[in-house]
Structure 1
Amino acid sequence: MTITPVHVEIDGRPVADPALTASLMSGYGHFTALQVRGGRTRGLALHLARLDGAHRELFGAGLEAARLRPLIGRALRGSGLRDASLRVYGFENAVAVTVAEPYVHDSSPQLLMSVPYVRPAAHLKHLGGFGQAYHRRAAARAGFDEALLTGPDGAVAEGAITNVAFWNGEQLIWPSAPHLTGVTMALLMRRLPSALRPVTLADLPSFRACLVTNSRGIAPVSRIDRVTYPVNEELMARAQGAYEQVPWDPFD
């Protein structure tokens, strides 16, 4: 049973719409994250499909592109930014769009620390990411850049905020354990030799290189726990070149 509040205060200040505020604070919802340059983004159709599919699964109704595009464009124009980090959130009774300064991508080699954690409903980019945030902070305290989420028997799933891929000399191997198919991952899988297969921590020494992807970009991985990888400059150039070939889509 959902109880709708009639009055909400934040830091002693009443909010204008208690029901909407309660929905936004519920922790039950989903989102997608985009990097915007010149008022455009890569893979917009994939982002819109993600939002629509997640909304149908969580709330039984879709979020169609015809509704989302104007909301995103309006928020972007309201921010005054042409380059931005943008997020679209789907709640039961609302769609929220946040616009922030663009992210400056760090393409330096990443250090990953494996942790025993798999996100619930991992196929969704949902709210309530306490577990992955907790492990990512723990990894940072230990001197790593990212947490590598793993399941039973050391099955590799994904990074806390990234997808991970391993190069075997012929193709990128994306772990098939429960994970979110990121938009950048999906775009690269269409353009580079790729396969979705089980990968375990015991398999890591057998690969020649490793990289991570998310909406911010692509970066090489130089170490996972005690397993080290050389930065494969040819692979990174191919991956970056394939990503840069993806067209930029307008919102309107």
Structure 2
Amino acid sequence: MTNRPDVHIEIDGRPATGLDPAVVPLLQGAYGHFTAMQVRDGRTRGLALHLERLDRATRELFGTGLDGDRVRTLVRHALDRGGRSDAGVRVYVYGAAAEGGAPTVVVTVREARTMPPRPRSMMPVPFLRPVPHVKHAGGVGQPYYGRAAALAGFDDALLTGPGGEIAEGHVANVALWNGTSLVWPEAPALRGVTMALLERLLPSVHREVLLADLGSYPAAVLMNSQGIAPVHRIGTTELAVDEELIRRLTEAYAAVPWDGI
């Protein structure tokens, strides 16, 4: 794969040259897992959480750990060779290339991104991610429902269970606001790094949240590594955009230290 102008890819520290770019989505869809981070000046928020996520999932999927120092070295190398100190970085982990070897680590480096702060609309869809605690690379459900939401005129899909239990966005965590605390849905979902950072900084509770209960919540937000945005509509339910809540979340997130990779 010859690296496209907008993305630099390395496999175990070696540039992925000589392959067609069409291989990228196939590689990203294989049996494996990943973490996504935004890097600024060679630093990222919640680095320890990213490394812990990678190690834990590697042990679960492949029966071996993943050394954090190895990951940091590979990311630094890819940032340097990719010519970016500000970037969107993904670290993918797959099985060992040879019997008894270390897991294969793929690092992609592309343009840095920030979530637009505009209010979002979300379309509830009847889907929960399999093995939801792992940020896995495969599966058609998330992109399928994300596309379906876009075609229906929504910004994002909201994944829900068979009883209308709210779980997460198709590429982000969702939290409701009850006026005093962030309410994190208890349905099976990925515990995102941005979520993990914010729930330490603002009053938070975890409980079941049903689509039928949305009218009792004055506001909602979604978040991922790119940032935070208000949610103004879920299905046909309109939600207020709480500017004070967004200010508090934004200030709290901005105060999170950036860790050197």
Aligned counterparts of 1:87 and 1:25: Cα–Cα separation in 2 = 10
Aligned counterparts of 1:72 and 1:244: Cα–Cα separation in 2 = 23
Secondary structure of the structure 1 residue equivalent to 2:137: coil
Q: Which of the pair is proportionally richer in helix?
A: 1
Q: Which amino acid aligns with 2:56?
A: G
Unmatched 5+ stretches in structure 1? 1-13, 16-20
> Paired residue for 2:219, among 209, 224, 228?
209
- For residues 112-123 of structure 1, what are the structure 2 equivalents within 5 Å? 112-123=122-133
The reply on whether 1:241 has 2:254 as its aligned counterpart is no
Aligned counterparts of 1:105 and 1:82: Cα–Cα separation in 2 = 19
Secondary structure of the structure 2 residue equivalent to 1:85: strand
- For residues 1-252 of structure 1, what are the structure 2 equivalents within 5 Å? 24=27, 27-93=30-96, 94-251=104-261
Secondary structure of the structure 1 residue equivalent to 2:188: coil
Unmatched 5+ stretches in structure 2? 1-17, 97-103
Equivalent residue, structure 2, for 1:8: none
Count of residues in Structure 1 that have an aligned counterpart in Structure 2 = 233
Please, what is the CA RMSD of the aligned residues? 1.6
Aligned counterparts of 1:24 and 1:107: Cα–Cα separation in 2 = 31
Secondary structure of the structure 1 residue equivalent to 2:145: helix
| 8 Å Cα contact 2:35-2:92 kept in structure 1 | yes
Aligned counterparts of 1:243 and 1:25: Cα–Cα separation in 2 = 29
Report the CA distance shift for 1:75/1:125 in structure 2 as closer, same or farther (over 3 A). Answer: same
Question: So what's the TM-score if we normalise by structure 1?
Answer: 0.89
Deviation by residue 1:51-102 (Cα, 9 ceiling, x = unmatched): 0000000000011112111011111111110110100001012100000011
Q: Which amino acid aligns with 1:78?
A: R
Report the CA distance shift for 1:26/1:42 in structure 2 as closer, same or farther (over 3 A). Answer: closer
Report the CA distance shift for 1:113/1:76 in structure 2 as closer, same or farther (over 3 A). Answer: same
Structure 1 residue 25 displacement after superposition: 6.8
Report the CA distance shift for 1:25/1:197 in structure 2 as closer, same or farther (over 3 A). Answer: closer
What percent identity do the matched residue pairs reach? 56
Q: Which amino acid aligns with 2:137?
A: L
| 8 Å Cα contact 2:29-2:138 kept in structure 1 | no
Question: So what's the TM-score if we normalise by structure 2?
Answer: 0.86
Report the CA distance shift for 1:103/1:129 in structure 2 as closer, same or farther (over 3 A). Answer: farther
